[in-house]
Amino acid sequence: DAGVIQSPRHEVTEMGQEVTLRCKPISGHDYLFWYRQTMMRGLELLIYFNNNVPIDDSGMPEDRFSAKMPNASFSTLKIQPSEPRDSAVYFCASSFFVWDEQYFGPGTRLTVT
């Protein structure tokens, strides 16, 4: 398996624009997680899915953030409208079970100017 795939790897956008980050989990993994990493706050869980259903979105910072998982092999994290404070590295991870080892994608580095 190619591992967790994320796109794009880098995204630079202007404040107010919509940003969509994409993730393809490892085939067969039932759990998908979205994390954000910043210098100030470290790694934080934003939301996670089980069998395509959002289970816990308490980490999503604001209504500007939304995530979907239309099928077992694809998920999106959308920010609309984007703000400079959203600049961070966004990681997607997946696992077989919730207590299992998590495998991380390479991340998307987002810069909002």
DSSP letters for 41-58:
TEEEEEEEEETTEEEE-T
By CB under 8 A, which span of 19-27, 65-73, 75-83, 91-99 interacts with other proteins?
91-99
Q: Which is nearer to other proteins, 22 or 109 (CB)?
A: 109
Sign of CA dihedral 22, 26, 60, 42: negative
Query: Which one of 91, 111, 112, 113 is in contact with other proteins (CB under 8 A)?
Result: 91
Q: Which amino acid is at 39?
A: M
Give me the least distance between CB of 16 and other proteins, in Å please: 27
Contact between 87 and other proteins per CB under 8 A: no
Looking from the CA of 81 toward its CB, the CA atoms found within 13 Å total 7
Using CB under 8 A, count the residues that bind other proteins: 21
